């Protein structure tokens, strides 16, 4: 059963959703740790969005239209409207402003493709920087978590040895996990293993070619 505070929180959340004109099924309140994590992620996104210049924001707003089906339909409709008066017989009376092979249409499509590609690259550049920041943050947190876990294992092992009722036994795995892992050593081992695997593959392909 829900407490009175949880029931009132659900009722207030439901009232807020009804005020915004949204249909929402109320759920249980999230734990405080999860709520803090969500707020941290939102603050990270908000900080990155705040630092975006106006001209880049304008380019990205236009670029957001490029990945929609409406953009494809607009291009197809524009090509049809462009080609139709240039291929109909002259007796109909429509002016031929770009007769076949449609040189102006080709120039327009080439220029449009260049602008679309540039806009997409500008947006992807910022997204890649944001992804790199997230990767760096994840790496730092993972290394910190690994150090904390190693410290906890060391404290548990020390506590186990100090308790007289617990039999003192040797645990090689726990002894190994007490020390934090060196990321540089892992990178060196991975590079050596990858180089060895690539060398083996090259030696295997060499007899096949002969």
* Mean pLDDT for the stretch of residues 195-210: 76
- Of the two residues 173 and 85, the one the predictor is more confident about is 85
pLDDT at 30 over 80: no
Q: Record the pTM.
A: 0.54
pLDDT of residue 110: 95
pLDDT of residue 105: 92
pLDDT of residue 114: 94
182: Cα within 13 Å, side-chain hemisphere:
5
In a domain, 24, yes or no: no
pLDDT of residue 75: 93
Kindly state the tokens that stand for 183.
């990321």
Split at pLDDT 50, 70, 90, the class of 28 is: low
In a domain, 5, yes or no: no
Count how many domains the chain has: 1
pLDDT of residue 206: 66
The torsion angle over the Cα atoms of residues 138, 139, 143 and 149, rounded to 10 degrees, is 30
Instruction: Tell me the residue range of the domain where 132 lies.
Output: 38-205
pLDDT at 22 over 80: no
**96 with 104: CB under 8 angstroms?**
no
In a domain, 17, yes or no: no
pLDDT of residue 207: 64
In a domain, 25, yes or no: no
Q: Identify the top-confidence range among 19-28, 54-63, 66-75.
A: 66-75
Split at pLDDT 50, 70, 90, the class of 108 is: very high
In a domain, 12, yes or no: no
Q: 26-35, 104-113, 132-141, 171-180 — which is least confidently predicted?
A: 26-35
pLDDT at 57 over 50: yes
Kindly state the tokens that stand for 93.
């009376």
Q: Identify the top-confidence range among 4-8, 16-20, 90-94, 195-199.
A: 195-199
**157 with 179: CB under 8 angstroms?**
no
* Three-state SS sequence of the chain: CCCHHHHHHHHHHHHHHHHCCCCCCCCCCCCHHHHHHHHHHHHHHHHHHHCCCHHHHHHHHHHCCCCCHHHHHHHHHHHHHHHHHHHCCHHHCCCCCCCCCCHHHHHHHHHHHHHHHHHHHHHHHHHHHHHHHHHHHHHHHHHHHHHHHHHHHHHHHHHHHHCCCCCCCCCHHHHHHCCCCCHHHHHHHHHHHHHHHHHHHHHHHHHHHC
pLDDT of residue 8: 46
* Mean pLDDT for the stretch of residues 142-165: 84
């Amino acid at each position: 059963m829900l407490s009175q505070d949880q029931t009132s929180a659900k009722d207030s959340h439901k009232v807020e959703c009804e005020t915004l004109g949204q249909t929402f099924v109320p759920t249980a309140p999230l734990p405080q740790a999860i709520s803090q994590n969500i707020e941290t992620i939102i603050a990270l996104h908000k900080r990155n969005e705040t630092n975006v210049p106006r001209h880049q924001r304008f380019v990205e707003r236009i670029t957001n239209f490029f990945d929609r089906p409406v953009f494809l339909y607009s291009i197809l409709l524009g090509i049809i409207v462009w080609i139709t008066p240039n291929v109909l017989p002259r007796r109909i009376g429509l002016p031929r402003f770009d007769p076949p092979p449609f040189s102006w249409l080709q120039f327009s499509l080439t220029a449009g493709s260049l602008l679309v590609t540039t806009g997409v690259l500008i947006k992807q550049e910022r997204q890649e920087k944001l992804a790199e920041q997230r990767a760096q943050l994840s790496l730092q947190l993972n290394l910190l978590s690994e150090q904390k876990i190693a410290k906890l294992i060391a404290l548990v092992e020390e506590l186990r040895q100090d308790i007289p009722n617990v039999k003192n036994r040797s645990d090689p795995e726990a002894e190994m996990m007490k020390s934090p892992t060196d990321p540089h050593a892992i990178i060196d081992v991975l590079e050596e293993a990858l180089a060895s695997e690539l060398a083996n593959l090259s030696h295997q392909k060499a007899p096949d070619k002969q």
